[in-house]
Copies of this chain bind each other. A is one copy, B any other.
Amino acid sequence: MSVTINEVRPGAYYDSVVLMQLQRELAQLPGIIDAGVVMATPANCDLLSSSGFSIEKEVRSDDLLIVVRAEDEKHAHSALEQVDELMTRKRQGSSPGYRPKSLEAANRQLPQSSWVLISVPGRYAAKVAHESLDINKNVFLYSDNVAVDEEVALKNSAKEKGLLMMGPDCGTAIINGVGFGFANQVRRGSVGLIGASGTGLQVITSEIHRLGGGISQAIGTGGRDLNEEIGGITAIRAVEILTDDPETKVIVLVSKPPAPAVVTKLLQIAWNCGKPFVVNLLGYSPAANRIGSLYFATSLTNAADLAVSLAQSPDLELPRIQVRPDALSHRGGYVRGLFAGGTIAYEVTIALRTFLQPIFSNLHIEGVEELKDVWQSRSHTMLDLGDDMFTQGRLHPMMDNDYRIRRLRQEAADPEVGIMLIDLVLGEGAHPDPAFELATVVKEIRQNSDRPDGAIEVIALVIGTDEDPQDLGRQIEQMEDAGAVVVQNIGLAISETISRILPAPAPRKEALKKQPFVAPLSVINVGLEIFTDSLKDQGAEVIGVDWRPPAGGDERLASLLSKLK
């Protein structure tokens, strides 16, 4: 037989970590089988019921509910009697002293604070974050369960004010050497990180520390920042901050699978930041380990390795797509790729999707749009002309250039096209002289295309060997004579394309002589008390707000009160 007793303490608010600690201590008392200590929200009451506790009394959301199941009534009562003592002991151990009841009061007490760390329950979090931005504080928003539209509103507001808004659901950051939320103790140094993934930041920063490197700043964005809806507002701001930071020599970006359009935007900025930039997008496969100054890591450990190596030497020998700086000539216009080789089309498209969005194609690739009417290109388009839909009643384009020639003319007639990509695959079985036919149309296209930014550029990828029956040298010569840019491997075809589309990387800026964040670090903590302790232990100036749900957790009343204000 066991005995279960409830106790309700009306209007006594404690945060969830404090409650968990109390619950654990109660459960370890002699004669106690199990214990529950929660704020009596309907969800928590349901959870207790499903754990076999019956709630007998009338409770409200702002009541503290304590339930113990004991071997007998004596032990149960004895446990409940110890609640106050346990609470007091806890209070004495952590953050003693006066705690202001509101953000405004805290700010009066610590006006030099430049940060607010928020970990209140999700339904209250956006409001506290808005208040923080309104008094010009940067925000670290640990709370989750904040709506996407609230996130967009908060981030846009921060952007307007030139503030940094990390989160919601931001688990980790290290600012001026002080960890926010979950963060490892690491050496300060020259690697700046941006993480849309909390544990990702922890793993990389720990590994950098283990390898002897150090961290300038580690900026969390919240897990949704690189989604379509948010568009990477915080990540972009973070790149700007780390670009301008004189301490940061290498930048690392780690994220769970991001939206392709957001990656594109972010990498175009990264491309232009003038510092080596390590990219670790989980589960996202780029076409090279290195493209220009962008380094694509294969794992979190590899990202840390690369960062530490790049901090020592900003140029690593890696399989890469090399971008010729002298080829950089930013041109408008869409890219249209017309390929005979399916795999060539595939690899080019995978690489370009990282930089150009949207791309349309008849290939099925994540992050690439389906071109529904394959006879009519849109935006950037990459076509595998060896696909069945193009070879009905026709030979494969490896043997028969007719349709490709027609399509080249069709693309050239589109005034929005700037670059065309074609492949010539030589060898046994293939067309005996593909360049003869293709050079004619390339010449015609280049002569006829009369635009303000010059003729359409045609990049011709010639795949073959010096022993192939078509005479490799002669094939190249014919294409070059027609005015095509001839390359002999896919990486070069990709780099010649990227070089013409992306803006030329800016010359390395004179580093600003200014820390990106105010030092010494001064923070207002609203929410979990353990964070106040943690910040203090790390040497930051902190004030913890004695936050309670507005109107005692009565949301109807709270909404009424806020209207009366």
Binding site for B on A (CB under 8 A): 16-17, 20, 38, 43-44, 47, 144, 171, 179, 181-186, 197-200, 202-203, 206-207, 209-210, 254, 256, 282-289, 296, 298-302, 305, 319, 340-344, 346-347, 350-351, 365-366, 386, 388, 392-393, 395, 398-400, 425-430, 463-465, 467-469, 488-491, 530-531, 534, 537-538
A531–B429 CA distance with the chains assembled, in angstroms: 7
- Minimal beta-carbon separation of A534 from chain B (angstroms): 5
Indicate whether A429 sits within 8 Å of B181 (C-beta atoms), given known contacts A210-B465, A305-B319: yes
Nearest 3 pairs of A and B residues by beta carbon:
A199-B341, A185-B467, A285-B285
**A38, A203, A351: most-surrounded residue (chain B CB, <10 A):** A203
Name the contact of A344 in the complex, choosing from B186, B199, B284, B392 (C-beta under 8 A). Answer: B199
Let me know if B399 and A20 touch, CB within 8 A: yes
Which residues does chain B contribute within 8 Å of A468, judged by CB atoms? 184-185
Indicate whether A467 sits within 8 Å of B186 (C-beta atoms), given known contacts A319-B305, A534-B429: yes
Which residues does chain B contribute within 8 Å of A20, judged by CB atoms? 395, 399-400
Which residues does chain B contribute within 8 Å of A344, judged by CB atoms? 199, 203
Let me know if A202 and B299 touch, CB within 8 A: no
Let me know if A465 and B209 touch, CB within 8 A: yes
Specify the chain B residue showing the minimal Cβ separation from A254: B343
Indicate whether A300 sits within 8 Å of B343 (C-beta atoms), given known contacts A44-B393, A463-B202: yes
Let me know if A491 and B299 touch, CB within 8 A: yes
Let me know if A182 and B319 touch, CB within 8 A: no
A206–B254 CA distance with the chains assembled, in angstroms: 36
Specify the chain B residue showing the minimal Cβ separation from A306: B319
Which residues does chain B contribute within 8 Å of A185, judged by CB atoms? 427-428, 465, 467-469
Let me know if B467 and A300 touch, CB within 8 A: no
Let me know if B489 and A301 touch, CB within 8 A: yes
**A171, A285, A342, A429: most-surrounded residue (chain B CB, <10 A):** A429
Let me know if A199 and B282 touch, CB within 8 A: no
Let me know if A429 and B182 touch, CB within 8 A: yes
A185–B347 CA distance with the chains assembled, in angstroms: 23
Which residues does chain B contribute within 8 Å of A301, judged by CB atoms? 319, 489-491
Name the contact of A282 in the complex, choosing from B43, B254, B340, B346 (C-beta under 8 A). Answer: B346
Name the contact of A184 in the complex, choosing from B144, B342, B351, B465 (C-beta under 8 A). Answer: B465
A282–B398 CA distance with the chains assembled, in angstroms: 21
Let me know if B282 and A184 touch, CB within 8 A: no
Which residues does chain B contribute within 8 Å of A398, judged by CB atoms? 171, 182
Let me know if B282 and A347 touch, CB within 8 A: yes
Name the contact of A427 in the complex, choosing from B184, B254, B284, B365 (C-beta under 8 A). Answer: B184
Indicate whether A490 sits within 8 Å of B182 (C-beta atoms), given known contacts A199-B342, A429-B531, A429-B534: no
Q: List 29 A-B contacts (CB under 8 A).
A: A16-B395, A17-B399, A20-B400, A43-B392, A43-B393, A179-B428, A184-B428, A184-B463, A184-B464, A185-B467, A197-B342, A197-B346, A198-B341, A198-B342, A199-B341, A199-B463, A202-B425, A202-B427, A203-B489, A206-B465, A282-B347, A283-B366, A287-B298, A288-B299, A289-B289, A300-B490, A428-B538, A429-B531, A469-B537
Which residues does chain B contribute within 8 Å of A488, judged by CB atoms? 210
- Minimal beta-carbon separation of A341 from chain B (angstroms): 3
Let me know if B282 and A283 touch, CB within 8 A: no
Which residues does chain B contribute within 8 Å of A181, judged by CB atoms? 428-429
Which residues does chain B contribute within 8 Å of A302, judged by CB atoms? 288-289, 319
Name the contact of A285 in the complex, choosing from B171, B284, B289, B489 (C-beta under 8 A). Answer: B284
- Minimal beta-carbon separation of A424 from chain B (angstroms): 11
Let me know if B429 and A199 touch, CB within 8 A: no
Which residues does chain B contribute within 8 Å of A350, judged by CB atoms? 282-283
Let me know if A425 and B343 touch, CB within 8 A: no
- Minimal beta-carbon separation of A475 from chain B (angstroms): 12
Name the contact of A346 in the complex, choosing from B210, B283, B351 (C-beta under 8 A). Answer: B283
